[in-house]
Amino acid sequence: MFKKSESIFLSSVFIFLLIFVSDLSFTLARTRVSDQTPASSFSLQKPLADEACVQQRTHRVAKYCFTLTNWGFIGSQTRGLRETQGGCFNPNPIEDIAAPSFEFPCGSDLEYLFQGALWVGAVVEGEPLVSVGADGWLGVYEMFPDADPDGCIKEKTIRLSTPNCPNPDTAGAISEQDIIAVYSDTATAGVSPDDYDRRPHRPIGIQIEQRSYSWSYDYAEDFALIDFTIKNIGKKDVKGIWMGLYVDADVSHMSIAGGYKDDITGYRATYPSPLWADTTEYQDTIQIGWIADDNGDLGSGGVVRDNSVPSVTGVRVVRAPTKNISFNYWMSEGNDPVNLDWGPQKQDNWDLWIKNYGSWCEGGKGTPCGDRAKYFTMSNGEHDYDQIFACTDESNSGWLPPPGFCTDLADGYDTRYLFSFGPIDVLHPGDSTKVTVGYVAGENFHYKVNSIDVNNPMAYYRNLDFSDFATNALWAGWVYDNPGVDTDSDGYRGRCFKDPIGDTCLFYYEGDSILCGR
């Protein structure tokens, strides 16, 4: 098998062959209301659905262990949730066991995720609504599966046998471990009300089919692909749809109390292409939100210890019916004596909000509480400047000035981010659309002792190594959509880099936007 370092770029034919021939004693992030595992009896607005089959299942074939659910929730609240019994790769398939959240490498007790969630926002009859797998601050959960057996998680694999599945379900499998879940936002009984908008949960009327894929191959072992099919199961048009992944990472070894307090986050649009090592003129487009520990908890001299967390994780889109991306982050601290609830805000957006709605929730400028604030945040079009620049005055670029307490935030905090994309103009009743994201890890992000000087953030930024992370982000796109392969035989093979003299295609760097194998 080729190493990533040996195969950073391959011809379209070679990529095609390569892929298809190979083919809670822990101190947790603070919330305003204690997070609770959802009850198993949320009543869906469907006949015969009297008990939701709420489950968790962990990807275990790759370099990471990554837990997903069938209720729009990602991770396990750093093992606060347990992996549901069963599955082809569960080491103890006859009982529920502790579920790693995003443990990297698997078995290391190095956690890069506390909790994450799918957020879907839309306008229904002129009103913005947002349904979330988890709110992250108010303890709100609004997506649930159907009853057993239809609502329970399904699993497929391209492997012909596994220790727990001598005859696994291989029909239509894409990866070595496909985890398949179906859930909707139509539950109302038992769902927390929207305190900030002063009303019960109002469903958009959508169903989500979630298929996640993981591989053990060297070029694909550091990322998972998550396929979402969103269907309008209601009777009204759903317009202006934005989707997002909310991430609260709390990067730390399991043994370190208070490890959630020093995360940093940011957004990276491009990275110098390794094909042109002698210049930075050519950039690979990666468009990825990232989050990491502020210093990796390295030892003296930059030594990586057993409890060091030197890696980085993030989210990128590999397929969407829109190119628009928003990246927002914030700190949820509104209930502290000193209100540190804050996130970057564009002056124009902030003025628009205050004019229409008054004060922001929690009295700060960070946490979006309620449907209106969530939809406003998802769709604001902002790419927030990286957290390490929180003390840099960007008001000349249209941002609000930094807060007086910025030094408490710029060098790491209990940070959360939302990576969102849209809008999808309209889904009529019965219509559906597909979105695919990559959840990506990168090694050696911290490779030396690197202190943050809030007055000189570039010195810190230059000592972060994005190379492995960027490589894995590219491969997440290539595995999903092989460059140069005409998947649907319509004559289009993707985008290519052309010889500026002869105008011939030298190599393909994007595919035809159709998932290989489907």
Write out 335-404 in H/E/C secondary structure.
CCCCCCCECCCEHHHHHHHHHHHCCCHHHCECCCCHHHHHHHHHCCCCECCCHHHCCCCCHHHCECCCCC
pLDDT digits (tens, 9 = 90+) for 376-394: 999 999 999 999 999 999 9
Helix (DSSP H) and strand (DSSP E) numbers for the chain: 6, 24
For the whole model, what pTM was predicted?
0.89
The answer to whether 382 and 396 are in contact (CB under 8 A) is no
Q: Write the CB contacts of 478 (distance below 8 Å, at least 6 apart in sequence).
A: 15, 511
pLDDT digits (tens, 9 = 90+) for 107-116: 999 999 999 9
Task: State the Cα–Cα distance between residues 385 and 402, nearest whole angstrom.
Answer: 11
Task: Name the band, by pLDDT with cuts 50, 70 and 90, for residue 277.
Answer: low
User: Mean pLDDT for the chain?
Assistant: 87
Q: What is the pLDDT of residue 335?
A: 63
Q: What is the pLDDT of residue 498?
A: 75
Task: State the Cα–Cα distance between residues 142 and 202, nearest whole angstrom.
Answer: 9
Judged against a pLDDT cut of 90, whether residue 145 lies above it is answered with yes
| Structure-model confidence comparison of residues 34 and 192, the more confident one | 192
Distance of CA 452 to the CA centre of its chain: 26
| Structure-model confidence comparison of residues 401 and 284, the more confident one | 401
Q: What angle do CA 458, 460, 466 make, to 5 degrees?
A: 95
Q: Amino acid identity of 442? A: G
Task: State the Cα–Cα distance between residues 431 and 334, nearest whole angstrom.
Answer: 40
Task: State the Cα–Cα distance between residues 283 and 456, nearest whole angstrom.
Answer: 25
Judged against a pLDDT cut of 70, whether residue 41 lies above it is answered with no
Strand partners, 293: 263
Q: What is the pLDDT of residue 437?
A: 96
Distance of CA 34 to the CA centre of its chain: 22
| Structure-model confidence comparison of residues 185 and 275, the more confident one | 185
**Averaged pLDDT, 168-178:** 97
* % of the chain surpassing 90 pLDDT: 68
Q: What is the 3-state secondary structure (H, E, C) of 4-28?
A: HHHCCCCCHHHHHHHHHHCCCCCCC
- Counted residue by residue, the chain has a size of 518
**Residue that is written with structure tokens 């074939």 in the block:** 61
Element (H, E) at 377: helix 370-378
Q: What is the pLDDT of residue 34?
A: 43
| Structure-model confidence comparison of residues 28 and 106, the more confident one | 106
Task: Name the band, by pLDDT with cuts 50, 70 and 90, for residue 32.
Answer: low
At 372, is the secondary structure helix, strand, or coil?
helix
- The one-character DSSP state at 375 is H
Task: State the Cα–Cα distance between residues 322 and 424, nearest whole angstrom.
Answer: 7
Task: State the Cα–Cα distance between residues 320 and 341, nearest whole angstrom.
Answer: 31
